[in-house]
Amino acid sequence: MKRKVFKFLTAEDGAVTVDWVVLTAGMVTVIVLIFAAVKDDTLGLADNISSYMASQ
């Protein structure tokens, strides 16, 4: 029983999965922050272009 518990505690099979989950969560967070920062300016630019095109 002790051997099985020790083997379970020292196994690194799930470590790669945890690394990828953390890495992916970080990338998604950065993408969301970039989108939030760019969204307002992009919508404003689209409105300006729309107004210009409508006046032509």
On whether residue 41 sits in a domain, the answer given is yes
> Measured between alpha carbons, how far is 40 from 56 in angstroms, rounded to an integer?
25
Question: What radius of gyration, in Å, describes the C-alpha atoms of the chain?
Answer: 25
Mean pLDDT of 35-53: 93
Position 41: which residue type?
D
pLDDT of residue 18: 84
The stretch 8-32 carries a mean pLDDT of: 87
pLDDT exceeds cutoff 80 at 45: yes
Averaged pLDDT for residues 30-56: 93
Q: How far apart are CA 29 and CA 46, in angstroms?
A: 25
Domain-embedded: residue 47: yes
CA pair distance 29, 23, nearest whole angstrom: 10
Q: What is the pLDDT of residue 35?
A: 93
Whether residue 36 is contained in a domain is answered as: yes
Determine the structural domain holding residue 42 and report its residue range. Answer: 25-56
pLDDT score of 17 = 81
To the nearest whole percent, how much of the chain has pLDDT over 70? 100
